[in-house]
Amino acid sequence: MILLIAKKEVKELLRNNRFRLISLTLLILLVFSMFISWNTHTKIQQEHETAQNLAREQWESQGQKSAHSAGHYGTFAFKPIPILALIDNGLNKYLGVSIFLEAHRQNSASYKQITDQNDLARFADLSPAFVFIFLMPLLIILLGFNSFTTEKESGTLQLILSQGASKRKLVLGKTIGIWFALLLLLIPVFLLGFCFIAFSDYEAGDLLRYGLIVMSLLIYYGVFIHLSIATSVWAKSSNFSLIILLSFWMISALLMPKLTADISKRTHKTPSAISYQEDIKEALANGINGHDATSEKALAFKDSLLKTYNVKSVEELPVSFGQLLLQEGEKHETTVYKNAMTQLNNVYIEQLKVHQLNAFISPTILMRMLSMEFAKSDLQSHYNFTYQAEEYRGALISSLNSGPSGAVDSDFFKENIKFEYQPITLSQTMEKSANNLLYLLIWWLLSGILVILSVQKNKLK
């Protein structure tokens, strides 16, 4: 009986011109967005590789100069674009793609793609994630909003129940029917996405990450299917059911993400660029300056060295005081910059917690966060890159300060360590995503319970 009901539901949906038109439109959008994302990803990745190779070539081909002055010349660290960005580019275009690394200064990521775009362009970025997360629920609503109301309005509901179909079987059959119609559209698209990733230069765990995105999307769609069924059972008319579901979609997908972002910024304010730099400048002034041997802290450092080596003058030291002073100054600067980065990241973490709290009103927020986390295009993945770039900057400058005191040639620069970015691991992602995934499952469970309650409370014979 359940399968017969499901079969009937699928046939009616497939015969529906509105369903066919919307499904075809979404299918075209999904395939088109995947090819556009693939082309963009390939182009940007090639540009990054070219720029990275050029930056290294320029570093290694420096003329003769002192090792320390090379630190002021600087070089670049480039953030690789994860292959799953073709599914969800997340925050990548907001955060920059490269960092200029130089002595005594911490720079933020540059070349943000979003710089010249307005708010509408930021929202309506045609990507697979946009279609999957924001538009696909609309199709689900159109599939399920009248699943019960049509039967009630046409008078066929009582006829179906009189044939021996229980309320539970009827709901289950219609749910399976909606799922089957939806999967007819989704499976080819999911397979296309898998092929894009499988035939690319993907990293370990990327296929599993893609599987987790697909699994999260199916749970997310299950929430909207449950809500559509429950509303259709409860509503007295199809129009009223549609209004309720569209209102929920607008609140979940349009209102809450923007409102939550505003709330998080108000409750946990990030410092302005000017105040951020002023705080760093003040913290740096409270420590040793590697270029000023006459400062109070530099003189105290010199006295400690003389005492350690039991000598009376700098000339008697068995080590280079200038180099040690530079290293000590760089050590202080590194500590200051790391502390500043950590404090700023802690503010972002608190803002994300606000998003999680508001996700109890909007499953779309949860799905958006999960998609970015699994695609490695979220804020924490970017912080992982900036932290490693800062670690590399400190190690590079330290090696330069401890190098030969005179002029060095290109052979010395070729031996300098290269920046090797280690992407955030799947286990790290799962640790951060566990709560979001749990909350999404809670949404799925509660919406399923709502379906059961709506059937039990509805006066069906």
Q: Could you tell me which of 282, 387, 286, 391 has the C-alpha nearest to residue 344?
A: 387
pLDDT of 122 reads 46
pLDDT of residue 124: 47
Q: How many Cα atoms sit within 13 Å of 249 on the Cβ side?
A: 23
Match 């399976």 to its residue by tokens.
Answer: 176
In angstroms, rounded to a whole number, what is the distance separating the alpha carbons of residues 76 and 43? 19
So what's the pLDDT on residue 291? 76
Return the pLDDT at 316. 79
Q: What is the largest CA-CA distance in the chain?
A: 106
User: Which pLDDT score is estimated for 206?
Assistant: 92
Tens of pLDDT along 192-248? 999 988 888 788 889 999 999 999 999 999 999 999 999 998 888 889 999 999 999
User: Strand, helix or coil at 392?
Assistant: helix
Cβ atoms within 10 Å, residue 2: 18
Q: Residue 441's pLDDT is what?
A: 95
Give the pLDDT confidence score for residue 163 in this predicted structure.
Answer: 66
Q: Which of 209, 218, 262, 198 is nearest to 372 (CA)?
A: 209
- Who contacts 145 (Cβ-Cβ below 8 Å, separation ≥6)? 228, 231, 232, 238, 241, 242, 245
CB 181 within 8 A of CB 13: yes
Q: What is the pLDDT of residue 458?
A: 65
Q: Which of 337, 338, 330 is nearest to 399 (CA)?
A: 330
Give the CA distances from residue 170 to residues 12, 128, 444, in Å, rounded to whole numbers and listed in that order.
Answer: 15, 33, 20
Q: Tokens standing for 400? A: 């330069």
Which residues, given as ranges, of the chain have pLDDT below 70?
1, 111-125, 155, 157-165, 457-461
User: Residue 311: its pLDDT value, please?
Assistant: 84
pLDDT attached to residue 158: 65
State the residue for tokens 């007295």.
236
Taking the C-alpha atoms of residue 201 and residue 216, their distance in angstroms, rounded to an integer, is: 24
Strand, helix or coil for residue 429: helix
Instruction: Give the β-pairing of 98-101 and 75-78.
Output: antiparallel
Q: pLDDT digit string (tens) for 17-64?
A: 878 888 889 999 999 888 888 888 888 888 888 888 898 888 888 878
- pLDDT for the residue numbered 120: 45
